[in-house]
Every structure is written in structure tokens, then in C-alpha cells.
Amino acid sequence: MHGTEGVWSGVVTDFIRGNKLGLTWQPPNEAAATNVMIKLFPQGAGTAVELSHSGLTSSEALERSVTTWAFYLNNLKSVIEQGVDLRGQKQRKITHPTLTRPESNN
């Protein structure tokens, strides 16, 4: 992750080439690992990306996760389609019509 310090750790938990990647995700200074699942689906001439991040322990962690993943997925799209890496630019909250959040039990 651009602009971060420390050791990020994780273990691959699921893998199907060209289709699915599951891993544990533990940023530095976080007490517990969470789980990330990325799935790819052919969609016309492109590919749809489905990402789920579970095991977050607070609404603040959920909001941070949504904001961060939205930025990095948008950056991936920008690099692939336009060759432009957005990481050096000011990060802003990016919304996407297909971005969904799990229902809260609070």
C-alpha cells in the first residue's frame, strides 16, 4: 500500500487461477487478521471484480476498508485502461454504483 509503513501480512486461503483469490489481511498495528476474497467474472469485453472483506471489528474499520478498497480498485482500473497510477494524487472518497456494504446489526 502506497504511503504506509510496517509489515503487512497475510496467507493465501483460496486460489483458482484467473477466477478467485482468498487471503487473510493484517495491516501493521492491527491486532487481528481479516479475510479478503476477490473473484473475477468475464463481462463482455471486460472483467467484473467482486471483492469482499470480512472480519472487520468496528464501523470505523468497515468505513476505512470500503474507502481504501474503492480507491485501489479504481486505481487498478485506471492503470489497466489508461496507464495512469492514481496513488501519487490526493486520495478522495470514491463512490461506485455497484459498491455495496453489508447490513449493520447496530
Residue 27 lies in a domain: yes
Question: What integer pLDDT is reported at residue 102 of this predicted model?
Answer: 52
Query: At 97, is the pLDDT very low, low, confident or very high (cuts 50, 70, 90)?
Result: very low
Residue 48 lies in a domain: yes
User: Which range of residues forms the domain containing residue 17?
Assistant: 12-85
pTM over 0.75: no
Residue 24 lies in a domain: yes
Question: What integer pLDDT is reported at residue 8 of this predicted model?
Answer: 78
Residue 43 lies in a domain: yes
Q: What is the DSSP letter of 26?
A: B
CATH, residue 16: 3.30.310
Query: At 106, is the pLDDT very low, low, confident or very high (cuts 50, 70, 90)?
Result: very low
Residue 70 lies in a domain: yes
Residue 92 lies in a domain: no
Distance CA(101)–CA(90), nearest Å, equals 24
The domain tally of the chain equals 1
Residue 104 lies in a domain: no
